[in-house]
Amino acid sequence: MPKINRYQDISEIDKEAKKDYIDRHSPFIHCASEAKAGEPFEVTVKMGNEYTHPDDFDHFIESITLFDGEKKLAEAIYVPGALGNTKAHNTTTFTIIPTGKKLNLVAHGYCTKHGIWESTPVEVTVTE
């Protein structure tokens, strides 16, 4: 099983290089706090909040995967150069149809050089 790296609050870290490393590899989930059951619901995952990630042939974000708990909901796959070979934020908007009473969203981003990075979980209430 590969190691899964988790976001740390970069405001508590002194070294700029470590802040950059953690932030640019971490996925951040952006969505509403409520969704309607059976209706399309958009979830945007952005890699990095303050710092951008390289898009080089041997070092890039290869995928962003969205989970509801342990259930895989969606995945976006990238190839090197998809962001023009410049530093950028990989940003993907997934449209899902919620069921049940709540979603426990977690995103994974995979960097070809630094492995899997997991977002902070986001809970969404699903109404009828």
Give the predicted TM-score (pTM) of the model: 0.93
Which residue range forms the structural domain that includes residue 39?
4-127
Alpha helices in 7-126 (DSSP H): 16-25
pLDDT (tens, 9 = 90+) of the chain, 128 residues, equals: 678 999 888 888 889 989 999 999 999 999 999 999 999 999 999 999 999 999 999 999 999 999 999 999 999 999 999 999 999 999 999 999 998 899 999 999 999 999 999 999 999 999 98
Domain CATH for 92: 2.60.40.730
Q: Are 5 and 109 in contact (CB under 8 A)?
A: no
Report the percent of the chain where pLDDT is more than 90.
87
Query: Based on the structure, what is the number of domains in the chain?
Result: 1
